[in-house]
Amino acid sequence: MIQRKVDELDPLDRRLLGSGALQGMEFDSAVIAKALETDTADVEERLETLEKSHALILRLGERELPDHTATLRCRFVHALYHDALYETLSPARRT
């Protein structure tokens, strides 16, 4: 059931959440944006949509990273979603 839900994601959303899974159960929009070389605001909009439409993540709120970058902190709603998305990544991406 979980794998089916992950498979239903758009490939770009799967990549975005896979990048979040690299950080762990909780992750930051600014870190994902930097890793994917995209705009943080675009990542945050996508995360909001994913939270509402797929219920795989929960937005925890805003925070500031040590370098003073503003970011949106999120977490996977269940470890099984985290694990399934992490497994979609190739070994090179995990490294």
Tokens 């909780």, residue located: 26
As given in the structure block, the two tokens for residue 57 are 């993540």
Which pLDDT score, from 0 to 100, does residue 58 have? Answer: 97
How many of the other CB atoms lie within 10 Å of CB of 14?
Answer: 17
How do strand 26-28 and strand 70-76 relate by DSSP bridges?
Answer: antiparallel
Task: Label residue 3 by pLDDT band (50, 70, 90).
Answer: confident
pLDDT at 1: 86
Is pTM beyond 0.75 here? yes
pLDDT in tens, 20-72: 999 999 999 999 999 999 999 999 999 999 999 989 999 999 999 999 999 99
